[in-house]
Copies of this chain bind each other. A is one copy, B any other.
Amino acid sequence: MCFSTRKVSYSRVGQKLKPSAIASVMTTALENPNILSLAAGFTDSHTLPVLDVGNAVKDLLSRPGLPECLQYGPNQGRPELCRQVAKRLMEQDGVPFSKEDSKKVFMTNGSQQALFLATQVLCDMGDIVFVESPSYFVYLEMLKGQGVEARPLPIDEAGMIDHQSFERELIAMKQSGEINRVKAVYLVSYFSNPSGESRSEAEKVKLGELLQRLDEPIAVIEDAAYRDLYFETEYPARSVVSLDAFNGISCLYLATLTKPFATGLKIGSGFCTDQEWLKRILWLKGHHDFGSSNFTQAILETVFLDGGIDRQLGLIRRVYSEKMKVLHTALCEEGLVEIGWKWRIPLGGLYLWLKAPNSLDTRMKSAFWKACCCNEVMYIPGDLCYGNTMQCFDYVRLSFGVLNKREMVEAATRFVKTAKDFF
């Protein structure tokens, strides 16, 4: 039977939904298998932890008693895994771990689901979330899909939060009454997707102090998806949930367990300092799916306890550090800097964030985009990474996650060749 044709009538959200930019990118890539993609934030397939996963499954399925890992688990997540996640976070932040901390953790279908749940619980259509410029484009798409405004946090020329301007803006909103629409500040604060930059502790503290002074019910969502993916050393900033400046402010810290391990397992986590918000997030999760896969959680729990997560991190930090250098070097050697492109060498993460010269338009369907497709190389256009009112058409995000080194050099060559045609 073919698809039916009668139209159903959609909700306001249903009407607002649009395909993700990444879907268009993937479609283009599928149409031409010769394309080398520096677009998707997929991870390196050669280093996936086949042995660790295999051993964990063998261990889990050979335990005496009933195979509880194949049965439903709790909505909030496996208690031992929640405990491990809380403990790890407290260790990373260098603060003491207490039992209470485990109760703040919940497991989700990737940290993306935690973002969705937290946002739907807070935001109605027309509400506002402040985001960095640039920010994580999938979250920006989600906000748009839910009719929520992604308003740019004032950022200075060095890319730091401009606290003074932000405070002025918030006070003006307080006076106009618009402040009730402001629900959260969203930070991608460790080796950001896409910029690769991190927020210093001092910057976060100032933000916390500002929000304390403002004294409005505004939450802070800190997305730390790339925190573990540093190349040489950890980024030395505690998370908002461990900073005194955020005492009494509702904070949600997001991490992924599987991006730096095996994305196919698709488990993320949230750590929420506000019990009431957390409760509502979990009630909504009950409506989504009443719990993420207990089996993949059990695998992660086993690998965690066995030290496998840290082993894998040790491996992929070296691998991504090298892959970043390969891409960076290839771009340089092909002469991209000479024709005016600029980027900083990141200290972690999966991306190079390039600024094109001469306000080159890099948007999807731009002449440059089409030329790249023609030359069989793909990227994420930077304009996707900006909130509602920002217009930045001359950035490009390149991922060094997926391709192997040989492919990456070839992709860089194609990219620079195209860039030269536009110089």
What is A's interface to B at a CB cutoff of 8 Å? 1-14, 17-20, 22-23, 42-43, 45-46, 48-50, 53-54, 57-58, 61, 66-73, 75, 95, 98, 100-101, 104, 108-110, 112-113, 116, 120-124, 127, 138, 141-142, 145-146, 180, 183-184, 217-219, 241-242, 247-251, 262-267, 273-277, 279-280, 283-284, 286-296, 298
Known contacts A7-B276, A183-B9; A50 and B61 CB within 8 A of each other: yes
Give complex CA distance A357, B335 in Å.
85
Give complex CA distance A114, B249 in Å.
34
Q: Which residues of B contact A274 (CB under 8 A)?
A: 3-4, 6, 8
Known contacts A2-B100, A288-B109, A288-B116; A124 and B7 CB within 8 A of each other: no
Number of copies: 2
Contact B72 A50 (CB under 8 A): no
Q: Which residues of B contact A180 (CB under 8 A)?
A: 9
Q: Which residues of B contact A8 (CB under 8 A)?
A: 122, 183-184, 217-219, 250, 274, 276-277
Expressed in whole angstroms, the minimum distance between the Cβ of A263 and any Cβ of chain B is 5
Known contacts A11-B121, A101-B1, A293-B296; A67 and B42 CB within 8 A of each other: no
Expressed in whole angstroms, the minimum distance between the Cβ of A79 and any Cβ of chain B is 11
Q: Which residues of B contact A18 (CB under 8 A)?
A: 283
Q: Which 9 A-B pairs have the closest CB atoms?
A: A14-B121, A70-B262, A264-B295, A142-B287, A3-B275, A264-B294, A70-B264, A109-B289, A17-B283
Contact B289 A266 (CB under 8 A): yes
Q: Which residues of B contact A13 (CB under 8 A)?
A: 120-121, 124, 284
Give complex CA distance A274, B112 in Å.
27
Contact B70 A263 (CB under 8 A): yes
Q: Which residues of B contact A277 (CB under 8 A)?
A: 8, 10
18 more contacts with CB within 8 A, not counting A20-B283, A46-B66, are: A4-B251, A8-B184, A11-B123, A18-B283, A19-B279, A22-B290, A42-B71, A45-B67, A49-B70, A50-B70, A68-B264, A109-B109, A109-B289, A113-B288, A116-B287, A264-B294, A266-B292, A267-B293
